[in-house]
Amino acid sequence: QLQLVESGGGLVQPGGSLRLSCAASRRTLDTYAIGWFRQAPGKEREEISCISSSGGSTNYGDSVKGRFTISRDNAKNTVYLQMNSLKPEDTAVYYCAATLSCVPRGPRVGSWGQGTQVTVSS
């Protein structure tokens, strides 16, 4: 049973940066690819990034490409999302989820967590 907990969100001004963390409950996190998703009020859930189980492959949605960077430290059972040049439209609840693969996208493993709120506003 894999449990993921998101943290690191907060209030930041446009152009600022945040680093989100996705911490796993067990040491077998390296079995899974991890995706980051976000959902703003009234909007569909959006996949924004995914990283392979080894960390060797990453991908990004067009909305965040060039600004966000996904990485992982399997020894720490943690996946990160570095968010730079934040824009008001990045405001959303951010979630991470384990998957079988990024490409093609595999089914989600486990349930959605509580997420972490990111608010970009002056």
At residue 113, the pLDDT reads: 82
pLDDT at 1 over 80: no
pLDDT band at residue 75 using 50, 70 and 90 as cut-offs? confident
What integer is the mean pLDDT of 33-56?
95
The three-class DSSP label of residue 75 is: helix
Q: Where are the beta strands (DSSP E) in 1-122?
A: 4-7, 10-12, 18-24, 33-39, 46-51, 58-60, 68-73, 78-83, 92-99, 108-109, 116-120
pLDDT at residue 49 greater than cutoff 90: yes
Which residue reads 């569909």 in tokens?
44
pLDDT at 28: 67
Tell me if 93 sits within 8 A of 117, measured CB to CB: yes
Tens-place pLDDT, residues 78-120: 999 999 999 999 999 999 999 999 998 888 888 888 999 999 9
